[in-house]
């Protein structure tokens, strides 16, 4: 019985390690990636107004920096 347990443990360990050598294939083919960029999957419901609000915020808080937009604090950009 002890020998059978050791054999089962050895086979299960071998199965785990050989499974790690299998090749990983992408779930999405390159021609199917357009489905991932569907507008319904975006986080904001109104992207144009969100961009405008972000622009206004970046213009007013330009002294802080690191927002990725150029412009002064006057909001004229």
Instruction: Quote the pLDDT of residue 71.
Output: 55
Residues 3-32 have pLDDT tens digits of: 889 999 998 888 887 766 666 666 777 787
Q: Please report which residue ranges of the chain form alpha helices under DSSP H.
A: 2-19, 47-60
Residues 38-59 have pLDDT tens digits of: 777 778 888 889 888 888 887 7
Instruction: Quote the pLDDT of residue 66.
Output: 54
Residues 55-76 have pLDDT tens digits of: 888 777 765 555 555 555 565 6
Closest CA to 67 of 58, 76, 75: 58
Instruction: Quote the pLDDT of residue 33.
Output: 76
Full-prediction pTM beyond 0.75? no
DSSP helix/strand/coil, 55: helix
DSSP helix/strand/coil, 69: coil
């Amino acid at each position: 019985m002890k020998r059978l347990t050791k054999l089962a443990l050895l086979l299960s360990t071998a199965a785990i390690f050989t499974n790690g050598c299998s090749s990983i294939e992408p779930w999405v083919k390159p021609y199917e990636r357009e489905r991932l960029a569907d507008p319904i999957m975006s986080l904001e419901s109104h992207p144009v107004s969100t961009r405008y609000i972000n622009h206004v915020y970046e213009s007013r808080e330009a002294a802080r920096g690191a927002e990725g937009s150029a412009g002064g604090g006057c909001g004229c950009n």
